[in-house]
Amino acid sequence: MTTTIQIEEKVKSKLDKLKVHHRESYNELIDKMIGLLIKTKQINQYDEFLHKIQQPKMKELWDNKEDEAWENA
């Protein structure tokens, strides 16, 4: 089953520029874009997870008297 969606002409022009081949359908193009967005979100979630688990250790390493002494030297 297919549906019809309305997009602005400028969005359609942008989609046209993204096509690898002139016969590529908008459906194929949008499907690829969705796949890339999902992968990007997964990578960002992983990066955020690593950042959160590293925060306590980084605080321990950087919040110390020795570093403060160098800042005021």
List, for residues 26-66, the tens digit of each pLDDT value. Answer: 999 999 999 999 999 888 888 888 888 888 888 777 777 77
29 neighbors 15 (Cβ within 8 angstroms): yes
pLDDT in tens, 3-27: 999 999 999 999 999 999 999 999 9
pLDDT band with cut points at 50, 70 and 90 for residue 68: low
pTM for the whole structure: 0.58
**Length reported for the chain:** 73
57 neighbors 46 (Cβ within 8 angstroms): no
- R_g of the chain computed on alpha carbons: 23
Terminal C-alpha separation, the chain: 71
